[in-house]
Chain A
Amino acid sequence: MATMSEQSSKPQPGRVMPVGLAQSPRPTLPRLGPPPLQPTERKGHGQAERPRLASRRPALHALAEAAIRVLAFSSIAAVILIFVFIAKEAWPLFHDSAIWKEVTLAKMWFAQQWPGYDAPEHVWQPVSEIPKYAVWPLVVGTLKVSLIAMLVAVPLAVGAAVFVSQYAGRRLREIIKPTVELLAGVPSVVLGFFALMVMATWLQHALGLDSRLNALVAGVALSFAIIPVVFTVSEEAFGAVPRSYVEASTALGAARWQTIVRVVIPAAGPGVAAGIALGLGRAVGETMIVLMASGNAAILSASPADSVRTISATIAAELAEVVFGGAHYTVLFFLGVLLFGFTLATNLLGEFAIGRMRRRLGGVA
């Protein structure tokens, strides 16, 4: 639009357009311009008659638009770079024979007969005379803590979401929703601190547990971080159920609870499932809470009263003290690849579920 901008090189006082950015060097838009030209015409026309000063503008425009287009790919670049650079540091585990002297994939996944042990065992003991890198205690620990967190978080979050979307009046809703947002804003290190300093003591006294820090404490604290995720997504899903569904059900004589249980919840099901998948991804990847509250002992057991060490906490606790490029370093990046892959899978699953719900409800809404 070079032809019109040159007419407007003086700012016009009485313009009707909304205020532009104050620091913009460009002249203000004119009140009236020539009729818009066809894009093909515009180019030829402009190039023929444009004086020098204004001819820089299209170049600037093109530059700015190119910058926007390039920056728009920053998130794709970020995801790819994250994967590439973590995988790159883990790669020696797959081909470097110097690393294989200390650890191999087989040694990580299968029980080994270590000197001093009666039977083959899975042991995570990377800093010892004979480094042992069995990942099962970490994987099981991660799943155990996440399972406890989900068992606490899902009923509370979905229940609260049903209450807020179906029963609560406006005032109650305006108390509950901001409070959950408040919880979402609490940094995870604060939740970890609370679990470590306060909740661990309470739970130990209440249940008479041996170790103060254990999978239960970490799992319950972790659930506080998951509740906002599951709540927000589920509440949105319940809100997206078309009114006509509820009206049809009521017209058929169903009670309110019957409508909720038989119509609203099934219709919003994929959305709730998406919330649960996203929550699980968060639970598995969350670091500071489990690092502070789980006790960090890599014990392979099913009991929630035992201390556990999760994958994320292992990386956080050990990476600062390893030799760059060494076996331990490589294994920790391999654990990072595992985490990345798992959360990627849960995210895609969640997205798939949300898309499915949109398609299903899309026909009616």
Chain B
Amino acid sequence: MKRRSRRVGDLALSLGTGLAAALVLLIVVVILGDVVYNGAPHMTLTFLTQAPRDGMTAGGIFPAIFGTVALVVLMTLAVLPAGVATAIYLSEYANPGSRVTRLVRVAVNNLAGVPSIVFGLFGLGFFVQFVGAGIDRALYGGQRVFGQPALVWAALTMAVLTLPVVIVATEEALAAVPRELRLASAALGASRLQTIVRVVLPQALPGILTGAILAISRGAGEVAPILFTGVAYFLPKLPRSLHDQFMQLGYHVYVLSTQSPDVDATRPILYATVLVLLLLTFALNATAVVVRSHMRRRFAGASS
């Protein structure tokens, strides 16, 4: 009797939790399967290299791809120095138990939890209305150049959003660098900064790259932060300067699926756009995973 209740209990719990796991897998498979099945036939070279035509019911998505790439490149240039410096400070300089360190950590964690739409509000209130309008007043005599939604403000807003991603990944990478290397460097008379620049950072480079790639993947997929800071519905020209507006893949998906004049005509384009966006973010994530596992293996080899 008792033995039987044990078996039944184990069976029920493993089946129940296994079912939950299976359902999660099923969700992923169904979403990806639907997108690939409906999107792949329309994903041609012309689709990737042409601009939209006929009220976005025909043509390609090149401006959206271009805008997405421009956005994440600028974002990376902004977020990497700040993120890496914060991680270096936390892991190499700061006293782990100090109040300042704790405060920085709390800030990083909370920044990671701020909703993306709030970043959009912040980008509008701070970058566009405050910094941008300030530049216009100082340099352009009040003429509107930077004081409006633009590529640079969207990129900076996205940089603030991805800051925690870079910090966490870099810190992890720095922590994985064996202590012996730092000690050896110090024993040879190198200063702390020399040790960091010449010894620790080169070792941690794959991890920092991982962080950068994860940040890019996040930045390529987010839409809410750029809604009011620079993205445009449709532009006949590619952005040429920092204060131009731009098109973006995620926003393109949103516009096509909610504001299309002809749903049936846009459906193949929409699916193909989603597929491109997914492939882009997955390729980035997969690269990050590969780089990270490579790094782990390297350190595992070094310490044994």
Contacts and interface: CB of A to CB of B under 8 A. Distances in A.
Given A1-B191, A159-B19, A179-B25, A285 B14 contact: no
A13 interface: no
B21 to A, nearest CB: 4
Contact of A320 (B94, B118, B228): B228
A214 interface: no
B179 to A, nearest CB: 14
A164 B21 CA distance: 8
Given A175-B25, A260-B13, A190 B253 contact: yes
B302 to A, nearest CB: 10
Given A72-B90, A287-B116, 19 more contacts: A5-B194, A18-B203, A36-B187, A65-B93, A71-B85, A156-B23, A160-B21, A175-B25, A180-B24, A186-B221, A189-B250, A189-B251, A190-B278, A192-B254, A227-B24, A284-B115, A292-B257, A339-B115, A340-B115
A242 to B, nearest CB: 21
B299 interface: no
A361 interface: no
Contacts of B222: 187-188
Nearest to B192: A65
B189 A36 contact: yes
Contacts of B189: 1, 4, 29-30, 33-36
Interface string B268-293: 00100010011001100100010000
11 contacts: A64-B193, A72-B88, A74-B163, A75-B164, A85-B122, A162-B13, A179-B24, A189-B253, A196-B257, A320-B227, A333-B125
Contacts of B285: 181-182, 185
B228 A72 contact: no
Contacts of A156: 20, 23-24
Contact of A81 (B117, B122, B163, B186): B122
Interface stretch (A19-27, A119-127, A129-137): A19-27
Nearest to A159: B20
B176 interface: no
A173 B270 CA distance: 34
Contacts of A192: 254, 257
A188 B14 contact: no
B109 interface: yes
The bracket for how many chain B residues form the interface is 35 or more
- Tell me which of A68, A78, A183 has the highest count of chain B C-beta atoms within 10 A of its own C-beta: A78
A21 B198 contact: yes
Contact of A82 (B122, B184, B197): B122
A21 B198 CA distance: 6
A233 to B, nearest CB: 12
Interface string A296-316: 000000000000000010011
Interface stretch (B4-12, B44-52, B56-64, B134-142): B4-12
A103 to B, nearest CB: 18
Contact of B227 (A191, A316, A336): A316
B303 to A, nearest CB: 14
A193 interface: yes
Interface stretch (B69-77, B100-108, B238-246): B100-108
B160 A78 contact: yes
Interface stretch (A47-55, A93-101, A104-112, A250-258): A250-258
Contacts of A285: 113-118
Given A33-B189, A176-B21, A189-B250, A343 B114 contact: yes
A75 B121 contact: no
Contacts of A261: 13
A58 B174 CA distance: 24
A278 interface: yes
A175 B24 CA distance: 12
B27 interface: yes
Interface in B225-270: 227-228, 250-251, 253-254, 257-258, 267, 270
Interface in A28-69: 28-36, 61, 64-65, 67-69
